[in-house]
Structure 1
């Protein structure tokens, strides 16, 4: 995930960039619950969770409304 997708997840919040096919391939195989349990406050200072939501949705793996990843809870439509 870091190698293929980190640049699409990092701050600043804008602009959002469409992820590569390689990044989407990683997303589609990822164990999201496992990844989310390891998201710390420190990581949330580096990775923009709104960009994470954008990439997940773009890659056809959107987070369900109310899903918690680290301390971030995804709102409706993310």
Structure 2
């Protein structure tokens, strides 16, 4: 009997400022645990995954600026 190892998804938080009303918000991003998935913030920025995300503010603004990215630590490893 073999045991399959399951990797947990990487969790990032994007801190975004609306260009219209300047309201700051946070968005959680879960990256699937595949072989070429970004493992830290630098790899996430270089991957181009952020460019595929859409932004919608409650003021109806559609343009947001990322002002920070944080990664949740996985203490289970």
Q: Under TM normalisation by the shorter chain, which class is it?
A: under 0.3
Larger relative contact order, structure 1 or 2 (CA cutoff 8 Å, min sep 6)? 2
TM-score normalised according to structure 1 size: 0.27
The structure number with the bigger radius of gyration is 2
Q: Which has the higher strand share?
A: 2
Structure in which a larger fraction of residues adopt helix: 1
